[in-house]
Amino acid sequence: MTDALKRLSDEGVAIWLDDLSRKRITSGNLAELIDQSHVVGVTTNPAIFQKAISGGEGYEQQLTDLATRKVTVEEALRMITTADVRDAADILRPVYDRTDGQDGRVSIEVDPRLAHNTAATIAEAKQLAWLVDRPNTLIKIPATKAGLPAITEVIGKGISVNVTLIFSLERYREVMDAYLAGLEKAKAAGLDLSLIHSVASFFVSRVDSEIDKRLDAVGTDEAKALKGKAALANARLAYEAYEQVFASDRWAALERLGANKQRALWASTGVKDPAYKDTLYVDDLVAPNTVNTMPEATLEATADHGQITGDTVRGTYEQARAELDAVAKLGISYDDVVQLLEDEGVEKFEASWNDLLKSTEAELERLAPTEA
């Protein structure tokens, strides 16, 4: 069942699970996926925690204790989420040790309501790193304009970062620049660069969802022929940008000091359109030194019938450019699409976080001891 996952791993693609819950931790399921399905990392986001905690299983005792202490809902939420991330990090610690810190990582996101506040994002990232207190944690910072200087500052303090919500090629280059600037800050501070790691989460399926909708509105045969191509083209050109930046003299100077490349991570790799093969954003985004973080359904589909045929990214750049150009010629603005997706991404995570605050508050009230 896992031959395709092994082939994917052998091609240099780290397989991370885009999901976490306390039940997954305590049941042994996460350990099983590491052992049998080549999973070497975990990503979380506000929507994932909202689903896990609202489901409730495994959280009642901690919620009861927190209610008894009368903590605020924000504090309760951070205690719960950091506990899950800490436990997952401990399960993944052998992978972290085996891969010299490259994998075995668990990501946790700063409060999405801070996405447009640089100083608050930096403060939250430092707090999360302290709360989880595991070397194999990645702090997720969104790639908003306000997030970019926060990335530099947090990397400069020696905290490893997962940059999230990247949709555009221009923003991705800015993210890589922010990472290198952070490493240069860390070097100036005398920190060991070999201990700092980062991934850049480039979102995939949402690009097709938005552009396909606009292609349908155009309605011509030419437009319909381009459906399902923009997301792969965008991601492949992101990898071209990665190759260029990490072949630069600026990078070489840092690499000589032991710095690690910031890997491209393919995020949002579950297909949204049932007309597409369910392993599309896995099979067609195989390239060395990348990460693919998959929801469990995509992981299982890849194990069952994924078609891993070697590198499917390098050598495709001209075709990818032509496909995005063809979309633009139909009057669909790339800049408009990627900005909309970034704005929506922040809004969706904020909505999930607010829903989670409300449901956690309701649970704290339900479980609070009655006054004698």
Distance CA 60, CA 65 (A): 9
Q: Which pLDDT score, from 0 to 100, does residue 37 have? A: 95
Q: Is 369 helix (H, G, I), strand (E, B) or coil?
A: coil
| Catalytic annotation present for 348 | no
Strand 198-203 and strand 39-42: the pairing is unpaired
State pLDDT tens for residues 105-154: 999 999 999 999 999 999 999 999 999 999 999 999 999 999 999 999 99
Q: If 0-12 CB within 10 Å is exposed, 13-18 middle and 19+ buried, where does residue 54 land? A: middle
- Residue among 79, 70, 195 nearest 127 (CA): 79
- 53: confidence class by pLDDT, cuts 50, 70, 90: confident
Q: What is the pLDDT of residue 2?
A: 52
Query: Nearest 5°: phi and psi at 177?
Result: -60, -40
| 154 vs 366: CA distance, rounded Å | 38
Distance CA 129, CA 135 (A): 9
Catalytic site residue from 6, 70, 140, 261: 140
The answer to whether the predicted template modeling score (pTM) of the entire model surpasses 0.75 is yes
pLDDT given for residue 17 in this prediction: 98
Residue 55, pLDDT > 80, answer no
Supply the pLDDT for residue 52: 87
- Of the candidates 303, 236, 280, the one whose C-alpha atom is nearest the C-alpha of residue 39 is 303
